[in-house]
Amino acid sequence: MLCQNCQKNEATTHIKRIVNGETTQAHLCSDCAKSLGYDSMFTDFSFNFPDMLSSFFNDTALASLGAHTLRCEKCGSSFGDIVRSGRIGCADCYETFYDKLLPLLERVHGKTNHVGKIPNSFEEIAKEEKSEHSELETLRAELDEAVKAQNYEKAAELRDKIKELESEGKTDE
């Protein structure tokens, strides 16, 4: 089969693209594939993500998402900027545009929840939260027992401690 682009060389690169359920096929020689940007499809770290992003969100989809009005507070990127450049602006963009990105992430990875390594700082936070939590639980159990034993003096003391811990948790949030 000859290359569809130059009609000269044998087609060695066969590309099937499915965009919004519509399948298109291209048969190209390696030179044309390269010049049309298909050679980098499977480069090491990302299969041409910018192309993928722009084919996923066409202009109408962008307009309906209100892509040009909502901006990331930290780096100032709008969702339209991200689609145009093919790159996420900063860590906070993931928070700001989470809902819009989610269907795309699902398509890329098949899943949308991280499992695996957690950075040190997050591990500590997770542990602290857990220990605070369990301290509260212990105090509540003690309070129940104190009430059952009709030891009201101790129960009042425990109730004050619990309130204190709970309010600390709230101010942290």
Partner 1 sequence: MNKWYIGEGDHNDIVISTRIRLARNLKDYPFPARLDNKSKIKVNELVRDALEGREKLDYTELKTLTRAQIVSLAERHIISTEFASSSDGRALLMSEDEQISIMLCEEDHIRLQVMKSGLDLQGAYELADRIDNEINEKLEYAFDERLGYLTQFPTNLGTGMRASVVLHLPALAEKGQLNSLASTVSKLGLTLRGAYGDGTAPFGDLYQLSNQVSLGISEKAAIDNLKTIALQLAAQERSAREEMKDSKLTEDAVYRAYGILKSARILSTKEFMTLISRVRYGAVCGMLKVDLKTINELMVSLQPATINAFVGRTLTKDERDVERANIVRDRL
Residues that bind partner 1 (CB under 8 A): 12-13, 30, 33-34, 39, 41-47, 49, 74-75, 77, 85-91, 94-95, 101, 104-105, 108-122
Tokens of 163: 């309130």
Which C-beta is closer to partner 1: that of 48 or that of 161? Answer: 48
Write down the least CB distance from residue 104 to partner 1, Å.
7
Write down the least CB distance from residue 145 to partner 1, Å.
35
Helices in 3-70 by DSSP H: which ranges? 30-35, 49-56, 59-64
Which C-beta is closer to partner 1: that of 31 or that of 142? Answer: 31
Using alpha carbons, list the distances in angstroms from residue 144 to 1, 105, 139, 167. Answer: 81, 47, 9, 20
Write down the least CB distance from residue 24 to partner 1, Å.
19
Write down the least CB distance from residue 131 to partner 1, Å.
18
As a whole number of Å, the end-to-end CA separation of the chain is: 64
Place of tokens 């965009």: 19
